[in-house]
Amino acid sequence: MKKLIEMSLIVLMLSASAFAASDGENELTKKNIQAEIKDCFEPLNRATFAFNQGIDKVIFKPVAKVYRVLPSPLRAGTSNALDNLSTLATIPNNILQGELKKAGINTGRFVINTTFGIVGIFDVADMMGFPEYEKEDYGQTLGTLGVGPGCYLVLPVIGPSTVRDTIGSLANVVGGDPWYNMTVGNNTQHFSDFDYWSTRAAAGIDFRAKNIDSFENLEKNSMDFYASVRSLYLQDRQMKISNSNTIIETMDDSDWEEIETK
């Protein structure tokens, strides 16, 4: 707890410095990539998709159903804490995208929720009137900078992705995600690899639990479930890159992340 509070203050000072360099929000216009995304590896992708479905039915879906029957306050607290941790990856992406005002807001969110919200279990920042939290990642940042998505990919366990998003995820491994650095990167004695992987697994289960009904309905009503999931994922990613408010038909569109290893 003490280490997280110290980290909060460091993040606050870094973000404040970046914010001070500008007299307002940099009005960068996000590029809306219209090019059709090709499924260059469709046979392999379909095989991986079938493999992931098998794992989902045996492990993730049953666990998600058990998680779903937990008391609502417990689930809400878990989800809030996971969102709070993800803020650490969002802040540098806000800065890279020129969204300095959002970086400042999200830094304030993280500091308040980590301290007064008990490591994020309670979203105190929301109660104080902070704007709704929107996740950003390096795949979105690359898209904002005009990097094309490349081919569609289905990764084992992780699920839908693109070449660009996969490369963006690897950015966390080379220093882009402070939480990854503190745990798997072993740059602190207070956390371990288990802390990182357990939070990633919890995030995947939380996402799966929120979307059980949506995916069941999608599978039941789709002539080609693989194609439907591909379309849903790619639309969701484009929405996030263009900052569109169009609604995708899942229970929780804020986070299309199956157990993402970052």
Q: What is the pLDDT of residue 36?
A: 77
119 falls within a domain: yes
Count, residues in the chain: 262
Would you report the helix, strand and coil content of the chain in percent, each value rounded to 5? 60, 5, 35
Tokens of 207: 């996402």
Q: State whether residue 24 is helix, strand or coil.
A: coil
56 falls within a domain: yes
257 falls within a domain: no
- Antiparallel, parallel or unpaired: β 159-162 and 152-155: antiparallel
Number of domains in the chain: 1
| Burial of residue 20 (number of CB atoms within 10 Å: 0-12, 13-18, 19+) | exposed
8 falls within a domain: yes
248 falls within a domain: no
* Cβ atoms < 10 Å from Cβ of 169: 21
252 falls within a domain: no
Q: What is the pLDDT of residue 22?
A: 36
How does pLDDT run along the chain (262 residues), one tens digit per residue?
Answer: 444 444 444 444 434 433 333 333 333 333 343 347 899 999 999 999 999 999 999 999 999 999 999 999 999 999 999 999 999 999 999 999 999 999 999 999 999 999 999 999 999 999 999 998 999 999 999 999 999 999 999 999 999 999 999 999 888 777 678 888 888 877 667 788 888 889 999 999 999 999 999 999 999 999 999 999 999 999 999 898 887 655 444 444 455 444 333 3
pTM beyond 0.95: no
- Helix (H), strand (E) at residue 127: helix 124-127
DSSP structure string for 158-196: TEEEEHHHHHHHHTIIIII-HHHHHHTT---SS--HHHH
Residue ranges making up the domain that contains 65: 2-21+29-242
261 falls within a domain: no
Tokens of 190: 């207070």
33 falls within a domain: yes
